[in-house]
Chain A
Amino acid sequence: MTDATHKIQEISRRILENGKVDKIIGYQKGSMPMMNTPCVIRNPANVGQLVWDSHCRLNLAKYLGNTKERVGIIAKGCDSRNIVMHILENRIQREQMVIIGVPCNGMADKWKLSALVDGEVVAVTEANGNITVTSVSDEKAIPRAQALQENCVLCKHRNPVIYDELTAELVEEPQNMDRHESIRKIESMTPDERWRFFDDMLSSCTRCHACRNACPLCYCPTCFVDESRPQWVGKGMDPVDIRSYHFLRAFHCAGRCTDCGACEAACPMHIPVRLLTRKLEKDCFDRFKWSAGLSLDQRPAMDTYTPNDPNDFFK
């Protein structure tokens, strides 16, 4: 059991027993290697099911919904920033939550790990800073730092920005992190090159919308792809519709996305959809000096207007 697991179980038991929360949202061990399943615990006797390891790749803020209950929620850095956004967007009240903050050293990339070995992965273990991947015929180990998801490699906010409890000491935040090198590379392409790049990137999309459903930002009662009067986006496999969905979703995440990586972790076809969302993140930072979810005291860039905003079109 990791230290974080132990701490999470202890804190959860305590806040359930003393009635501070009605439920805990966390992870339980999955049935497949490298996977955990988000779960809800109401009975303090069951906190033993909670786990925390390098495979907590989804964003639990998604599972808050717009609950009216009091909830204990486990949040790493990026998740906590989404919780801030949820409060700012009136999805949930601060008082409803006991936020169990986890200073995070990154989550493992299951694709990277699977590619290390021949054949189907049957077990993945972690010890002493190394992750070992085992298949029926093969076994490889790599240092944890080489196994991380890309968004974790580029992460600038590992510590939760808002919390009531902490599972460990805060970790060091990286300085001088260039998050946008891959974005600049695409920006420097010609329009034709960019068109072909995105066409190829989206060619395996099956319109399952796992990216949208895993995203804590995507909570519209009716998503724009489901509107029928008028119908903005077709429901078939026309590449126009596939592009429309992905591009517009990225725009809807502008100024709100914390690059938690849940979208890429969820995609069954391993499409690097963050290449779209990070472009919007870069634009928000370049133009408005805005990064999402860092403070409860600032309105988000995309929902405020001040007279000295740089654009001319509305003056």
Chain B
Amino acid sequence: MPVNNPYVPYPVRIADIRVETEDRSLKTFRLEFVNPGDAEKFAYQSGQFAEISVAGEGEIPIGIASSPTEKGFIQFTIFKTGKVTSCLHQMKPGATIGVRGPLGNSYPWETLKGKNILIIGGGFAFTTLRSSIKMMLDPAHRADFGDIDVVYGARTPGMLLYKEELTEWEKRDDIRMHITVDKAEDLGWAYHVGFVPAVTREVAPAAGDDTYAIICGPPVMIKFTLPVLEELGYHHDRMLMSLENRMKCGIGMCGRCNIGKELVCKDGPVFTLSHLKTTPMEY
């Protein structure tokens, strides 16, 4: 058997589990590599994902929520929805699972150097966006980028991910945060109330060759956000989408995640909208 078997997961230990949302449906898992050399082998960029492996249950593709600038661990925020995720949600720190990756392409950081970035995220699709923001804000990288605007929405305040970090970023002057919720019962809610597309229309920076939008969220959010950006004059090749599809191998072999001739796990998950407009919408 060749030494390099891309189906073998790196063993990782669950170092910490944090409940992110008020309904406990989302938890952030902090994972540490059991074997010292594996962390280097897992060198990744924001936007990539990994297959998380639970022996006896299966594997699931999850966007990497930690930033490459965070050392000593990798982080994933996982929604409890099926067989494997339910099993993960019942685990405790100290348990060993597996992780395969990094997989997929990342956001095109070389192209994005020197550009203004508008990040639009909804619900629990915000994970790779957290990775991106954390990376861009790192002192080593901030100067590489122009203005950074973030529109992030969830159903209620309790459903927002990474609340502490959102608050920290809100205080900074090198990033403009526009947090919104669909509904807020707390009269002290200091931010927007409204759907992501509406808030985007209000706050999005002007379109231009040097401004890119990264959009990541549930299908309904995307469906209504894209027209807003188009109205504002954003070009399809300046709009980056991170797609999801059912995956198994994650390495472009099992064939199931294709959209047209592209495989979301290998040619994606990041695609420009102009590219997506030439493929069937089977995602």
Residues of A within 8 A of B (CB): 228-229, 231
Chain B residues, Cβ within 8 Å of A228:
82-83
Docked complex Cα distance between A231 and B56 (Å): 12
Chief secondary structure at chain B's binding surface: helix
Distance in angstroms from A227 CB to nearest chain B CB is 10
Distance in angstroms from A123 CB to nearest chain B CB is 38
Question: Across the two chains, which residue of chain B brings its CB closest to A231?
Answer: B83
Docked complex Cα distance between A228 and B86 (Å): 12
A-B contact count (CB 8 A): 6
Distance in angstroms from A234 CB to nearest chain B CB is 13
**1/0 per position for B68-108, CB-CB distance to A under 8 A?**
00000000000000110010000000000000000000000
Question: Across the two chains, which residue of chain B brings its CB closest to A230?
Answer: B83
Chain A residues, Cβ within 8 Å of B82:
228-229
Residues of B within 8 A of A (CB): 82-83, 86
Docked complex Cα distance between A296 and B217 (Å): 49
Distance in angstroms from B247 CB to nearest chain A CB is 15
Chain B residues, Cβ within 8 Å of A231:
83
Chain A residues, Cβ within 8 Å of B83:
228-229, 231
Chain B residues, Cβ within 8 Å of A229:
82-83, 86
Docked complex Cα distance between A228 and B60 (Å): 14
Distance in angstroms from A136 CB to nearest chain B CB is 38
Distance in angstroms from B60 CB to nearest chain A CB is 12
Docked complex Cα distance between A293 and B82 (Å): 39
Distance in angstroms from B78 CB to nearest chain A CB is 16
Docked complex Cα distance between A229 and B83 (Å): 6
What are 6 of the A-B contact pairs (CB < 8 Å)? A228-B82, A228-B83, A229-B82, A229-B83, A229-B86, A231-B83
Distance in angstroms from A119 CB to nearest chain B CB is 36
Question: Across the two chains, which residue of chain B brings its CB closest to A228?
Answer: B83
Question: Across the two chains, which residue of chain B brings its CB closest to A229?
Answer: B83
Distance in angstroms from B155 CB to nearest chain A CB is 25
Distance in angstroms from A84 CB to nearest chain B CB is 37
Question: Across the two chains, which residue of chain A brings its CB closest to B58?
Answer: A228
Distance in angstroms from A226 CB to nearest chain B CB is 13
Docked complex Cα distance between A231 and B83 (Å): 10
The 4 A-B pairs at the shortest CB distance, nearest first, are namely A228-B83, A229-B83, A229-B82, A228-B82
Docked complex Cα distance between A229 and B81 (Å): 11
Distance in angstroms from B192 CB to nearest chain A CB is 37
Docked complex Cα distance between A228 and B82 (Å): 8
Docked complex Cα distance between A229 and B86 (Å): 10
Docked complex Cα distance between A231 and B84 (Å): 12
Docked complex Cα distance between A132 and B83 (Å): 56
Docked complex Cα distance between A76 and B179 (Å): 63
Docked complex Cα distance between A231 and B82 (Å): 12
Distance in angstroms from A121 CB to nearest chain B CB is 34
Docked complex Cα distance between A229 and B85 (Å): 12
Docked complex Cα distance between A208 and B86 (Å): 30
Chain A residues, Cβ within 8 Å of B86:
229
Distance in angstroms from B96 CB to nearest chain A CB is 24
Docked complex Cα distance between A121 and B83 (Å): 49
Distance in angstroms from B273 CB to nearest chain A CB is 33
Distance in angstroms from B83 CB to nearest chain A CB is 5
